[in-house]
């Protein structure tokens, strides 16, 4: 079942007095409970597409249907994790997570147990009373994921959430994210520049061209779950990574 349908979406914006065609046309569907990763070069419109899916930007042409309805500026049931964690330094970790509920007008007593449970699940429960500046980058991003999951979203949008982390922490976060997403059964859309990360986390990978971004390939990732980092050494994993790289080579993105 497709929860999101993207129909001939394009995005053009003005920059320096001229029109820049950033995205499309692109058409695709996203199935319930599955993780789709969009991978492509810088400036290809990946993040623009993600913002359009979340109602944070509007297409110049085409439309997006979310559960059969045109996407709106305010949409319930969506959690977003950005590249920067956007934690507020004047609030402790627990209060940063609870901010998502405050914005919806939910009483603290009703959601605090879930907030604490999420922090425990993500390995930062012991830091609930600490300030964000006391945590490492990986720990801060765990808090950002807890905040995004607090109100039990049916759709999770992730815009390069691990790109600022070191390689080891990034791998740890990838394993953790897939565990959390599989438990929550959310529909997830992830943006990344990393081809191995895209394959590891996904049920499906969409490969985008350079600007204006269009879909070069739509790849099903039929690898067993739960996944461990050892999967990256398997021939089936390497074959999907190679297929994506070949697409980028053919389009001139990779020399």
Q: Considering the domain boundaries, does residue 120 fall inside one?
A: yes
What is the C-alpha separation between 181 and 221, in angstroms, rounded? Answer: 16
- Report DSSP state, residue 71: -
Q: Enter the pTM of the model.
A: 0.91
What is the C-alpha separation between 5 and 169, in angstroms, rounded? Answer: 34
Q: Considering the domain boundaries, does residue 20 fall inside one?
A: no
Of residues 174 and 132, more confidently modeled: 132
pLDDT tens sequence across 71-83: 875 567 889 998 8
Q: Considering the domain boundaries, does residue 161 fall inside one?
A: yes
Domain limit, last residue, from 152, 173, 191: 152
Q: Is 162 found in the same domain as 47?
A: yes
Residue 32 CA to its chain's centroid (Å): 15
Q: Considering the domain boundaries, does residue 3 fall inside one?
A: no
Q: Is 239 found in the same domain as 179?
A: yes
pLDDT at 1 over 70: no
Six-digit token string for 211: 């600007």
Q: Is 231 found in the same domain as 173?
A: yes
Q: Is 182 exposed, middle or buried (0-12, 13-18, 19+ CB in 10 A)?
A: middle
Q: Residue 103: which residues within 8 A CB-CB, separation 6 or more?
A: none
Q: Is 157 found in the same domain as 131?
A: no
Do the Cβ atoms of 159 and 81 come closer than 8 Å? Answer: yes
Q: Is 245 found in the same domain as 186?
A: yes
Q: Is 240 found in the same domain as 172?
A: yes
pLDDT tens sequence across 47-105: 999 999 988 899 999 999 988 888 875 567 889 998 889 999 999 999 999 999 998 89
Domain limit, last residue, from 118, 134, 152: 152
Instruction: Please count the structural domains in the chain.
Output: 2
Do the Cβ atoms of 221 and 206 come closer than 8 Å? Answer: no
Host domain of residue 41: 31-57+70-77+153-255
Q: Is 163 found in the same domain as 51?
A: yes
What is the C-alpha separation between 15 and 31, in angstroms, rounded? Answer: 35
Q: Is 164 found in the same domain as 132?
A: no
Greatest CA separation for the chain: 56
To the nearest whole percent, how much of the chain has pLDDT over 90? 69
What is the C-alpha separation between 80 and 20, in angstroms, rounded? Answer: 26
pLDDT tens sequence across 128-143: 999 999 999 999 999 9
Residue 19 three-state SS: strand
């Amino acid at each position: 079942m497709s929860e999101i349908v993207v129909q001939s979406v394009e995005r053009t914006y003005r920059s320096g007095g001229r029109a820049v065609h950033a995205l499309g046309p692109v058409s695709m569907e996203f199935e319930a409970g599955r993780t789709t990763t969009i991978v492509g070069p810088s400036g290809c419109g990946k993040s623009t597409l993600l913002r359009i899916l979340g109602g944070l930007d509007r297409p110049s042409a085409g439309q997006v249907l979310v559960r059969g309805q045109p996407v709106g500026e305010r949409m319930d049931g969506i959690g977003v994790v950005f590249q920067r964690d956007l934690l507020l330094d004047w609030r402790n970790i627990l209060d940063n997570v609870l901010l998502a509920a405050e914005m919806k007008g939910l009483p603290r007593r009703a959601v605090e147990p879930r907030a604490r449970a999420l922090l425990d699940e993500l390995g930062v429960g012991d830091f609930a009373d600490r300030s964000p500046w006391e945590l490492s980058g990986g720990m801060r991003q765990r808090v950002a994921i807890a905040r995004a999951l607090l109100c039990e979203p049916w759709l999770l949008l992730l815009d390069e959430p691990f790109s600022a982390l070191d390689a080891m922490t990034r791998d740890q976060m990838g394993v953790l994210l897939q565990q959390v997403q599989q438990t929550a059964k959310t529909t997830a859309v992830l943006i990344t520049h990393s081809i191995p990360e895209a394959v590891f986390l996904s049920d499906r990978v969409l490969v985008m061209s350079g600007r204006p971004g269009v879909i070069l390939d739509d790849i099903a990732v039929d690898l067993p779950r739960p996944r461990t980092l050892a999967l990256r050494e398997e021939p089936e994993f390497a074959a999907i990574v190679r297929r994506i790289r070949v697409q980028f080579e053919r389009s001139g993105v990779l020399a």
